[in-house]
Amino acid sequence: MPDEIVYPEGAPFPGTIGRTIADSSPAWPVPPRAKRGAPNVVVILLDDVGFAELGPFGGTIETPTFDRLAANGLRYRDFHTTALCSPTRACLMTGRNHHATGAGIITGMATGFPGYNTMISRENGFLSEMLLQEGYATFAVGKWHLQPNNECNAAAPRKRWPLGRGIERFYGFLIGMTNQWYPDLVEDNRFVAPPRTPAEGYHLTEDLADRSIAMIKDVRSGAADKPFFLYLCPGAGHTPHHVPREWTERYRGRFDQGWDRLREEIFARQLASGIVPPGTQLSPRPEGIAAWESLSADEQRLCAREMEVYAAFLSHTDHHIGRVVSFLEQIGELDNTLLLLMSDNGASAEGGPLGSYSAQMGNNGREPTLEENLAAIDRWGDPTTFPHYARGWAWAGNTPLRRWKRFVHEGGVSDPLIVHWPAGIRAKGEVRGQYAHAIDVLPTVLDALGIESPSEIDGVKLAPIHGVSFAHTFDDGAAPTKKDAQYFEMLGSRAIWHDGWKAVTAQPPNVVLTEALLAEQRWELYHTAEDFSECNDLARQAPETVRELEALWWAEAEKYNVLPLDARGLVRVLAPMPALGTVSDRYVYHQGAAPIMKDGAVNVHNRSHTISAEVVIPEGGAEGVLLAQGGRFAGFSLFVQGGRLRYTHNYLGVREHRVVSDVDVPIGACTLRFQFTRTGEHRGVGALFIGERKVGEAEIAETVPNAFDRTGEGLCCGYDSSSPVSREYEAPFAFTGAIARVTVEVEGAAHLDAAADERAAMASQ
């Protein structure tokens, strides 16, 4: 039999077609195949993990998997990100500066300018798309967060969801954060429920590791030599800091010394290991961080427990990532896997001065009291809490650097990076000091794989890649960086690095910037080649250098769509993206539909409204949720239980306001209705009706002012997804009768709380 003729899929047919088979010759179109022996690529992106929180970067948290990868690979101490989540992810996946992709800001604060609309176009090709057309299998597991907020619903277009951007299989969550015990999950292009409950031992990080291993098994079973790209993004260490108690107990008493002493311990480890250059100084205490010794005994006890839980969260994550690493080793593919592990920005200070057992309170403009936090101390990290640590731990987590997440000083933009590839890198356990940025990861991967950057993908001409490869440093620690300059901008804070010098200015929030204000702002200047931690401001000694760098920043800003500069946090939140559907005062929902996130659901906050459910109750009765939004930490639920119609308004997990009917719900078709009449600011009267008959009424003295579902727990019809709104049932508590429709009608203008919305938007990144 003669050799078969094959040709690239999509190319012209090279065979011949005659009038009969006798005078014709076949040829087969074949999909792209990777080069023989091509390495797998695994990118692991941690969330809100500071420069010094991992063991290989001086941290005291136990991370044996990360330690092992660092010992057999390389650590980059001068790797940089954008200071916030989704902008860094855009840089990482496209190789382009965040503003140039439209992702110059977090998705909850998008504006109608090209650098800030968060709508990443196909001209900005993704690494997954490039590897897919080179014959790789492509998977994404965990956090995505690369589509606008208004595209996170089941009715949204999917072109910016993972499967629309070169990912063949996806399992994870679309938004900025999720409950680790009750995550809001998507599999491929559909919303799904977690496979188990916390009572059955469920935790998201373990699930993500399981799914990663399963995807690798599937492709390896079907194609023994096909390389794969795995983009693995756990939720750790973003709030909520959720972890099984047995992991937390390992750290009991380990942080009683406080954040001041912890910084000193970490810094000593960093100097000894060479992860910071000789001569580095420990940056001074910033405003807003209390000295540990100034805290009361109760405050110290609380804050120490917060760090125990956070450390356990990272160790737990290290363990489950270790399972993926061990599986690669088991199948003999770890050595020929190019693995990069990093974080998306510096440690997060959004927990405030003393931390919080419920970040959802902060999303609604209310911080828990010390007494409320202490009442939750033994539950910290379990499913009844949604915790974040005090900002002093973020300061320690970024040792020895200045500031933290959202700022463009080094504490916000300098992050750990480990590169592990024994088959391709001879060096082991070394530290690299070359300057690099998230935009450099994509060209580095392509360079290491011997792949040319494509000029187009699926007929779409690609924009230029801005990053440069640092693959030349893999085996040459003395090689110079190929970067010449790198700009930074986040919420008006600006910086520019050029040839070992950095000019930076921190922008106060919620300011309408004008030319006059810009003219008054003072830039700081650091010779970061010799001053790693930005301790010695040289702006007054070298004003000409400051002027040159500021001019370079403006040139870069013009080039990459950074303008207009905008520090209006509150106003930006109040000007959301256009809704996918028509905004009205009447919304209709259907039984069993996928959850609808905050940006697409009806807004009932501080408004009179009615919820009317047209149902059929079968013989023997029915029970379950008619309509619910939110979960354990804030929300409402209209449901039937014990034959009675019930409504619960969960006020921030602190109290539940309940209304119960005084008669049973009848068999057959009927309309079940809840009516809320606003009587004051965030208060009113709730009434229940069966048909036109009022069957229950109660005062609801306090209502959730701003956000039910920043955690991803959306509005659900016929069930309650994720954690339950009411303590009276366990989720999903699906309705056992039939629901024809649920109609929600609202009165008056939609309530907006700009300050709380800004806090919530920032906290969810």
Residues marked as catalytic: 85, 145
Burial 429-440 (b: 16+ CB within 10 A, else e): eebbbbbbbbbb
Q: How many other C-beta atoms are found inside a 10 Å radius of the C-beta of residue 119?
A: 18
Three-state DSSP state, 368:
coil
Close Cβ partners of 5 (under 8 Å, ≥ 6 residues apart): 14, 15, 25, 26, 27, 28
User: CB of 110 within 8 A of CB of 491?
Assistant: no
Q: How far is CA 16 from the centre of its chain?
A: 53
Q: Report yes or no: 662 and 604 within 8 Å, Cβ to Cβ.
A: no
Q: Helix (H, G, I), strand (E, B), or coil: what is residue 224?
A: coil
Do residues 649 and 700 touch, judged by C-beta distance below 8 A?
Answer: yes
Contact present, 408 and 63 (Cβ < 8 Å): no
Calpha distance 93→85 (Å, rounded): 13
Of 45, 441, 438, 402, which is closest to residue 237 (Cα–Cα)? 45
497 has which bridge partners? 486, 502
Phi-psi region of 608 (alpha: psi -120 to 50; beta: other; left: phi over 0): beta
**Burial of 12 per CB tally in 10 Å (0-12, 13-18, 19+):** exposed
Task: Give the whole-angstrom CA distance, residue 565 versus residue 575.
Answer: 16
Q: Residue 674 in contact with residue 629, Cβ under 8 Å?
A: no
Instruction: Report the DSSP pairing between strands 493-498 and 693-700.
Output: unpaired
109 Cβ contact list (under 8 Å, min separation 6): 569, 572, 573, 758, 761
Note whether 706 and 692 are within 8 A (CB): no
Contact 69, 339 (CB under 8 A): yes
602 in Cβ contact with 676 (< 8 Å)? no
Output the CA torsion 339→310→78→119 (10° steps): 70
Q: What is the C-alpha separation between 50 and 58, in angstroms, rounded?
A: 11
**With the C-alpha atoms ordered 666, 672, 674, 675, is the resulting torsion angle positive or negative?**
negative
Q: What is the dihedral of CA 656, 659, 662, 663, to 10 degrees?
A: -100
First to last CA, the chain: 60
